Amino acid sequence: MNTRKRTAKIDLKQYGMLIALVAIIVLFTVLTGGKLIKPMNISNLIFQNSYVIILAIGMLLCILTGGNIDLACGSVVGLVGACAGTFIIENGWNVYLSIALCLLIGIAVGMWQGFWIAYVGIPPFICTLSGMLVFRGITLLILKGMTLAPFPAAYQQLSTGYIPDIVNEFSLGGTKLNLLCLLVGVLIAVGFCASQVIGYMNKQKKGYENQPILVMVIKMIVISAAVIWVFYLLARYRGIPTVLIILGILLVIYSFFTQKTVRGRHLYAIGGNMKAARLSGVKTKQMMFFAYTNMSFIAAIAGLVFAARLNSAAPTAGQSFEMDAIASCFIGGASAYGGTGTISGALIGALIMGVLNNGMSLLGLSSNLQQVVKGLVLLAAVAFDVISKNNLIQLPKLFKNKKSSATIESV
């Protein structure tokens, strides 16, 4: 196996889910007669899946620490929504003060779980399973089994609002468009291309292994075209949803944290080998505490967004959300063993789940069948990860029988 073949295999694994996402979009576009990619439906897709993407960002950090998951995040979504409803609807408190208090409640919940997991040593599965029951029960106690509604317009703007255009009216080819939306799409595409080129040049200077320039160019063209196309469709409807700005900020911050900071790399080190990471000076307990505190903070943001979308605080809000977040991470390439995964991968996984849900709904398929399909997709994604890892582990043994150890090291 030469270096070129190995690089091709890595690229296929890295971009496999992105190719799958494109294939799913094309498939449902054909099956629905183009309904999937209508401007209004694209906007609906963002609204419907915003909370899943937000939760997947936090869940990825937990999974990186060793395949650990947080089963309580869905209940935290419901709890924060209940608190927001109580503060704003029942008590009439200031919207922004209430939002700040809800975020602090999310952090406090995360610190509670992080303490038991990191410093007491309770397995994350057991601790968060307990949290799922406790926080769901607290939600029911707060709401007394009732739904609080409606929220004021200032609060609903979080999830259902749109960013105003910079001009009153702009048209292109007779089609009315949101000019701000178009400009943002172009700027994002230009920024992405610039980041790819700068990253490539930095790796070349430092002598690191780099992706083939052709692969980079193709990736830049495809992703930039996709971004501009999506923003063009949004511009034909009502422009940029407010929640998309929230998503963009979170994606940028957490992508930078996981890829460019020391603490972010420590999460990968813990997932790769916790004992070795501890011996290397990584503060494993602090990082585990951070991962679960952060998860509940992210769940609090998702809870605020979801409550704004429902325009109510409901006792059942957030049920099974943790499953969608976990599935999004694994479908997006996170390893079941930990230490592998990216924020962009979690985004792609969430989009695959969202497009599957939306496409099957447009086709009129029952929710029961949708659950079957999503379960099979999740199983296939994890099986791919496990099989790939086993093959890579066995690879040196295969070559050891045929080649010298010096040849193996050069592969």
Quick count: other Cβ atoms within 10 Å of Cβ 402? 8
The pLDDT tens digits for 235-282 are: 999 889 999 999 999 999 999 999 889 999 999 999 888 889 998 899
In this predicted structure, the answer to whether residue 203 has a pLDDT above a threshold of 70 is yes
How far apart are alpha carbons 58 and 132 in whole angstroms? Answer: 16
Residue 67 binned pLDDT confidence (cut-offs 50, 70, 90): confident
**Region of residue 150 (left: phi > 0; alpha: psi -120 to 50; beta: else):** beta
How far apart are alpha carbons 177 and 368 in whole angstroms? Answer: 39
Q: Give whichever of 135-139, 168-172, 349-353 has the largest mean pLDDT.
A: 135-139
Token digits for 293? 């505190």
Q: What is the mean pLDDT of residues 335-348?
A: 88
In this prediction, residue 206 carries a pLDDT of 82
Higher pLDDT, 127 or 333: 127
Report the candidate in 50, 14, 106 with the shortest Cα–Cα distance to residue 347. 50
In this prediction, residue 125 carries a pLDDT of 93
Total-model pTM: 0.87
Q: What is the mean pLDDT of residues 310-317?
A: 91
Q: What 3-state DSSP class applies to 170?
A: strand
In this prediction, residue 390 carries a pLDDT of 61
In this prediction, residue 204 carries a pLDDT of 84
How far apart are alpha carbons 411 and 408 in whole angstroms? Answer: 5
In this prediction, residue 373 carries a pLDDT of 85
Mean pLDDT (the chain, rounded): 86
Least confident of 100-109, 206-215, 346-355: 206-215
Q: Give whichever of 169-173, 185-189, 382-386 has the largest mean pLDDT.
A: 185-189
In this predicted structure, the answer to whether residue 336 has a pLDDT above a threshold of 60 is yes
How far apart are alpha carbons 304 and 312 in whole angstroms? Answer: 10
Residue 388 binned pLDDT confidence (cut-offs 50, 70, 90): low
The pLDDT tens digits for 46-58 are: 998 999 999 999 9
Residue 391 binned pLDDT confidence (cut-offs 50, 70, 90): low
For 177, phi then psi, to 5°, come to -130, 155
Higher pLDDT, 67 or 313: 313
Residue 225 binned pLDDT confidence (cut-offs 50, 70, 90): very high
Report the candidate in 281, 306, 238 with the shortest Cα–Cα distance to residue 43. 238
Report the candidate in 52, 81, 137, 128 with the shortest Cα–Cα distance to residue 323. 52
Give how far the C-alpha of residue 397 lies from the chain's centroid of Cα atoms, to the nearest Å: 36
Give how far the C-alpha of residue 241 lies from the chain's centroid of Cα atoms, to the nearest Å: 18
How far apart are alpha carbons 330 and 375 in whole angstroms? Answer: 12
Q: What is the mean pLDDT of residues 285-304?
A: 96
In this prediction, residue 406 carries a pLDDT of 38
Q: Give whichever of 16-20, 42-46, 291-295 has the largest mean pLDDT.
A: 291-295
